[in-house]
Amino acid sequence: MTQDMQTSNNPAVSTDIDVRQRFFIQDSPVRGDVVRLSRSYANTITQKPYPEAIKRLLGEMLTAASLLIGTVKIDGRLSIQLQSSDSNSLLNWAMAECDQNGIIRALASWKSDNDEQSQAWNSMTTANEAFSELGATGAGVLFINIQPEQGEPYQGIVERSHDNLADCLAHYQKQSAQIPTLINLASDALQAGGILVQMLPRTVEETVEVEQNQDAGIDDDLWTRLKMLTSTVKAEELTTLTASEIIYRLYNQENVVAPEPTALEFGCTCSREKCETAILQIGQDEMLDICEEQGGQFEMDCGFCGEIYRFDKDNIAEIFAH
């Protein structure tokens, strides 16, 4: 028994490729999301002269953050952070963030201080090569940070269990939330995409039905079938097809229902007010010295979006006068 996937009635939204598209397998505990990034991803990676491998890694991280925030019910932000534990690593750290409104941004720090380091980056072409700069399996640190608008922030430490980001995150979901999870990520440095599928816990009634073999509507082979189907998706499909096309190609024999997609776009939360807060933390005397050293004016720039905020001695005096 099959059912055509129900998509948005708004063509301007449903055909957009900067989206997160949720889907459900009807009458089952399976949910999933497909994320496709194009303009939003391009706007992110043009902010800095990132090496090819880091561009691709940031694409996977942005996709993953956009997928994972769909699994938590919060008003706030979810970020993924990678931190090297090896001083010789060429990748210092990287982070990607998505909020409940679909606003994404990302940033990375890497070493390219000499020709040898630059050449090393030039030889890397994949996200997994950049990911490996965290160190061997088990080294480096991965974090998932959840910052709700109301309530306490949460940080989960993701075990470096595999040599790629997708498998590490899927392992984390299964271990921490006890939810079987499939995650595929891809990025070609121009576009990025990914899919997440989860088998949610059955209700008590469903569990009893399965155990008593009286299941009239529960497909107990569904998860095995979905694992096989999801494993067939190709990286180029995740980066070139629309979300609806991906879901149809994989699951056209299943009873798939898809609600309205969520638009994703690049955005930043930087502001002059946040810069002023940082200046207050540094202190008036030190900031005046910095201003003097730089000819009476200094700049603070945002690594995420490139916005530049300028301050002079009068601005500093005004900040500390409040």
Q: For 183-200, what is each residue's pLDDT tens digit? A: 999 999 999 999 999 998
Q: Is the pLDDT of residue 6 over 50?
A: no
Backbone torsions φ then ψ of 198, nearest 5 degrees: -130, 145
Q: Is pLDDT at 151 greater than 90 in this prediction?
A: no
User: From CA 29, how far away is CA 84, in angstroms rounded?
Assistant: 37
> 265-313 pLDDT, tens per residue?
999 888 889 998 989 989 998 998 888 888 888 888 888 888 889 999 8
What is the rounded average pLDDT for all residues in the chain?
87
Report the pLDDT averaged over residues 2-30: 67
> 272-321: CATH homologous superfamily?
HSP33 redox switch-like (3.90.1280.10)
Looking at residue 221, its pLDDT comes to 86
Q: 99-136: per-residue pLDDT in tens?
A: 999 999 999 999 999 999 999 999 999 999 999 998 87
pLDDT reading at 14 higher than 60: no
Residue 12 has pLDDT above 60, yes or no: no
- At residue 9 the predicted structure's pLDDT band, cuts being 50, 70 and 90, is very low
Q: What is the bridge-based pairing of β-strands 262-263 and 19-25?
A: antiparallel
* Cα 72 from Cα 86, distance rounded (Å): 32
Q: Where are the domains of the chain?
A: 3-266, 272-321
What is the fold of 3-266?
Answer: Hsp33 domain (3.55.30)
Decide the pairing of beta strands 103-110 and 265-266: parallel
Average pLDDT in the 70-95 region? 91
Q: CA end-to-end span of the chain, whole Å? A: 68
Residue 206: per-residue pLDDT: 52
How many Å apart are CA 10 and CA 254, to the nearest integer? 23
